[in-house]
Amino acid sequence: MRLSETQREVVSAAILRYTRDRPCPACGGAPSNSLNPDLVSVPVWKGDKGIPAAAVACNLCGFVSLHALKALGLENVAAADA
C-alpha cells in the first residue's frame, strides 16, 4: 500500500519521536533516514495477514529498519487500505 502525503507525514512524525536523536545502528552515522512511500507486510509464521510496517532506510549506508504501525498507534493507516 502506498502512503498518501498526509499519511507519510503522520508515520514519519511517529517514527521520529523514537529515532530523532539516535545514530544509525549499522553505520553509527548521524540520523538521516528516508521513509519508504510503500508500507511493508512482515510475514508471520501462521495466518494469512502479515504485520503492517513502515520501512525506513538510512541515507548513509542503506540499513533498513521496520516499524510496526500498531506499536506506533497507527494501525488505522494500514486499515484504510483494507
Which cell is 80 given?
484504510
Decide if 51 contacts 42 (C-beta within 8 A): yes
Residue 63: CB minimum distance to Zn ion, A: 4
Interface pick for Zn ion out of 18, 20, 26, 70 (rule CB under 5 A): 26
The residue whose grid cell reads 495466518 is 47
Interface pick for Zn ion out of 13, 42, 44, 61 (rule CB under 5 A): 61
Question: Is 57 near Zn ion (CB under 5 A)?
Answer: no
- For 46, phi then psi, to 5°, come to -125, 155
Binding site for Zn ion (CB under 5 A): 24, 26-27, 29, 58, 60-61, 63
